[in-house]
């Protein structure tokens, strides 16, 4: 399945002039490992939040695939909420963080679990946690699929993570480069063409 998908992507790249500078992503974390780890996280969260009402707060758009799998691995009644931040645009450098979509009426006195795709410099989460705390939730915790600790510029408390990864630009399983590759079922690394 993975091999077939990669071949398909490679074929599309060959047909697409804009993509000629980038090789197809090589597999960093295979689909089966992601699915296994997501089940473990779901089981852990089900224990840690037993008896509590939990709000799963997804950060659009990168966390959507992880969110959908994680939510189904948690054996508790959940409230679904999403918000959107602008921090990266169509390049590989971080930009200023801004809230561009998402309400706040559900926050007060609730347990909030932020679901993120990746923590890189930490600026996005730092901004988001400070913003959420203004509305007096019971607790705010963080669950990220990927963590790149070597890139951290501000300290953030990551309560749950799927995988620690080295300093590489990754795509797939929700993560994009220039809005592409989000639907890859694995985490891949983008490398410049030879």
The catalytic site residues sit at 120
Task: Say if strands 187-189 and 170-171 run parallel, antiparallel, or are unpaired.
Answer: antiparallel
Closest distance between ligand IMP and the C-beta of residue 159, in Å? 15
117 binds ligand IMP (CB under 6 A): yes
Exactly one of 114, 124, 141, 147 binds ligand IMP (CB under 6 A); that residue is: 124
170 binds ligand IMP (CB under 6 A): yes
Choose the stretch contacting ligand IMP; rule: CB under 6 A; options: 17-25, 27-35, 38-46, 112-120. 112-120
DSSP string over 126-140: HHHHHHHHTT--SEE
CA distances from residue 156 to 120, 122, 124 in whole angstroms, order as listed: 10, 6, 10
DSSP secondary-structure letter at 87?
A: E
Exactly one of 69, 81, 120, 147 binds ligand IMP (CB under 6 A); that residue is: 120
Integer Cα distance of 132 and 145 in angstroms: 20
Site residues (vs ligand IMP, CB under 6 A)? 62, 87-88, 94, 116-124, 169-171, 175
């Amino acid at each position: 399945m993975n091999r077939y998908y990669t071949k398909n992507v490679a074929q599309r790249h060959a047909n697409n002039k804009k993509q000629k500078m980038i090789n197809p992503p090589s597999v960093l974390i295979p689909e089966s490992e992601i699915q296994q780890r997501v089940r473990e996280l779901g089981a852990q969260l089900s224990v840690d939040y037993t008896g509590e009402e939990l709000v799963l707060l997804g950060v659009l758009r990168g966390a959507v695939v992880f969110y959908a799998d994680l939510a189904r691995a948690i054996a508790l009644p959940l409230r679904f909420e999403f918000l959107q931040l602008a921090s990266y645009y169509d390049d590989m450098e971080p930009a200023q963080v801004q809230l561009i979509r998402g309400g706040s009426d559900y926050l007060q006195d609730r347990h909030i679990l932020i679901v993120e795709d990746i923590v890189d410099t930490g600026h996005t989460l730092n901004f988001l946690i400070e913003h959420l705390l203004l509305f007096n939730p019971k607790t705010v915790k963080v669950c990220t699929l990927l963590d790149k600790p070597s890139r951290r510029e501000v300290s953030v408390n990551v309560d749950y993570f799927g995988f620690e990864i080295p300093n590489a630009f990754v795509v797939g399983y929700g993560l994009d480069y220039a809005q592409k590759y989000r639907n890859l079922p694995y985490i891949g690394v983008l490398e410049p063409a030879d």
